[in-house]
Amino acid sequence: MDKFVIKGPSKVKGTVDISGSKNASLPILAASILFDESVEINNLPKVKDIDTMLLLIQSLGFKIKKNKKKNSVKIIKTKNIHTFAPYSLVKTMRAGILVLGPLVTKFKKAKTSLPGGCLIGARPINYHLNALEKLGMVYKIEKGYVHASSHSNLKGAKIIFPKISVGATENAILASVLASGKTILKNCAIEPEIKHDLTNFLNKAGAKVTWTGKRTVEIIGVKSLKKISYTVMGDRIECGTFCVVATISQGNLKIKGFDAKLIKTELNLLKRVGAKIKTYKNLISIIGPKKIKNIKLIETKEYDGFPTDLQAQFMSLLCKANGKSIISESIFENRFMHVAELRRLGAKITIKNNKANIFGNTNFQGAELMSSDLRASVALVLASIVANGTSVINRIYHLDRGYESIEKKLSKIGVDIKRVS
């Protein structure tokens, strides 16, 4: 099993290229099930979750042609399509459930394993199932599988999500694209990966998806989608992570390949702690402060609030701040698993309910550490970069699910990091 060995402290300098977005690529890959013609997707990140999704689509009977130089794949429908998504492929990632809507709307049936992924919270799929049921899907759950079907074409409906859910919004949009008539979805998730990228991708292929309000989308069903070549947006969370790398380490970074307008909330918080930030078209220039200021309260919220996927990284940063900070986690109930490991490096953090009290001025000391989930893993990397001495981070397969060659990108900007098998 691979691990990282990091010798700190490091001051980072240079340029980082942001990879394609994992969270945009996954629903776009699931959408390829809707097509009769070939789909080419460019700028895919080389991360484990993408490999798993491609294996899943291949297992359904689609032909996958990879172009490693261009980070692109071509997905071609064959005559031999299956509608079974097995536990062996869906167990490691949450996004496996996104094939359910496309399979039922396109092929009128699906047998899909209940999903796995990180241990950060319960994340039930009842919002997905309720929305698809309103479109005409019938289902039962047996032995860990959703057995779903529809007697005829799914039919447009008005659906109001009781709670904002990224996955349920994506699944309902994907199912509605080929449904008969008009679908209106209210109280949708509006992450750029959905409102910008997934919507653009579908519309370029001939779908009729229109955002009519901040959280309301209207979809007029079409009979088929046309051949498309599409380039995925940059990864918002990777971009935010490298912004924190620069800030925590008194670094000087130029971050290329991402639109800064999509992370205004995060950049404003980094300015509050003292970072100097300039933004250009698809470029962010960021210089970390000599002294990091504390922030009284950060609360994770749905987009366009502060993202839960950057909570752990900001916690490492605020450990170095001058004074006490509080982070309130309102999205997932089990997302402070990195706290015990940060304490091993010397952090002073107490947890009460969904709030973490972070007592700053931590002088991190290198230690042996264990990753628990994707974003927690990178928080340990950030702390280790500025720690005195050597840190060893075990179980980095969590990191490989969402960050492309992070050790190579960090080495290039001055971090002493090695992957050890």
Model confidence over 185-244: pLDDT tens digits?
999 999 999 999 999 999 999 999 999 999 999 999 999 999 999 999 999 999 999 999
> Are 333 and 390 in a shared domain?
yes
The pLDDT value given to residue 188: 98
More reliable by pLDDT, 386 or 330: 386
- Do 238 and 227 lie in one domain? The reply is no
Take residue 338 and report the two structure tokens written for it: 């990195």
Residue 118 clears pLDDT 50, i.e. is over it: no
Instruction: Give the domain-ending residue among 211, 231, 251.
Output: 231
Same domain? 242 vs 220: no
Strand order in the sheet with 276-280: 13-17, 252-256, 283-287, 276-280
Quick one: pLDDT at residue 91?
A: 81
pLDDT tens sequence across 392-405: 999 998 898 889 99
Residue 391 and residue 292 in one domain = yes
H helices of 149-282, where? 166-176, 192, 199-204, 236-248, 264-273
Residues 10 and 26 placed together within one structural domain of the fold:
no
> Does residue 317 contact residue 248 with C-beta atoms inside 8 Å?
yes
How far apart, in whole angstroms, are the C-alpha atoms of residue 331 and residue 30? 24
Helix (H) / strand (E) containing 417: strand 416-420
pLDDT of residue 121: 42
56: nearest Cα among 92, 101, 109, 19: 92
pLDDT band at residue 94 under the 50/70/90 scheme: confident
Active site residues: 118
Residues 215 and 242 in one domain: no
What gap in Å lies between CA 164 and CA 78, rounded to an integer? 36
Would you say residue 75 has pLDDT above 60? yes
When pLDDT is cut at 50, 70 and 90, the band that residue 170 belongs to is: very high
For the segment 119-127, the average pLDDT, to the nearest whole number, is 63
Shared-domain flag, residues 44 and 179: yes
DSSP-assigned beta bridge partners for residue 357: 326, 350
Confidence of residue 122 (pLDDT cuts 50, 70, 90): very low
> What's the rounded mean pLDDT across residues 148-162?
96
Residues 353 and 205 occupy one common structural domain: no
Structure tokens at 157: 């409906």
Q: Residue 90: its pLDDT value, please?
A: 85
Regarding whether 34 and 8 lie in a shared domain, the answer is: no
Inter-residue contact 362 to 347 (CB < 8 Å): yes
Instruction: Tell me the one-letter amino acid at 417.
Output: I
Cα–Cα distance between 88 and 105 in angstroms, integer? 24
> How high is the pLDDT of residue 117?
47
Q: What is the pLDDT of residue 120?
A: 38
The pLDDT of residue 375: 75
Q: What is the pLDDT of residue 43?
A: 97
Amino acid occupying residue 252: N
Q: Residue 127 phi/psi, 5° resolution?
A: -65, -40
Residue 273 shares a structural domain with residue 408: yes
Picking from 174, 48, 164, the residue whose alpha carbon sits closest to that of residue 103 is: 174
Detail the DSSP E strand segments found in 2-42.
Answer: 3-8, 13-17, 39-42
pLDDT band for 183, please (50, 70, 90 cuts).
Answer: very high
**Cβ within 8 Å of residue 178, ≥6 positions away:** 34, 105, 106, 153, 154, 221, 222, 223, 224, 225
Gap between the Cα atoms of 51 and 292, Å rounded:
38
Q: Which two tokens stand for residue 63?
A: 């032909």
35 and 125 share a domain?
Answer: yes
The structural domain count of the chain equals: 2
pLDDT(322) > 60: yes
Last residue of a domain, one of 196, 211, 231: 231
Residue 165, C-beta contacts closer than 8 angstroms, at least 6 positions apart? 127, 128, 189
Residue where a domain terminates, one of 206, 231, 256: 231
Q: Are both 94 and 193 inside the same structural domain?
A: yes
Is the predicted pLDDT of residue 73 greater than 60, yes or no? yes
pLDDT tops 80 at residue 54: yes
Mean of all residue pLDDT scores within the chain: 94
- Distant-in-sequence, close-in-space partners of 63: CB < 8 Å, separation ≥ 6: 75, 76, 77, 78
pLDDT digits (tens, 9 = 90+) for 275-293: 999 999 999 999 999 999 9
Instruction: Please compute the mean of the pLDDT values over residues 157-171 and round it to a whole number.
Output: 96
- Residue range of the domain that includes 398: 3-19+234-420
pLDDT at residue number 144: 87
Structure tokens at 386: 């500025």
The enclosing domain of 290 has a CATH number of: 3.65.10.10
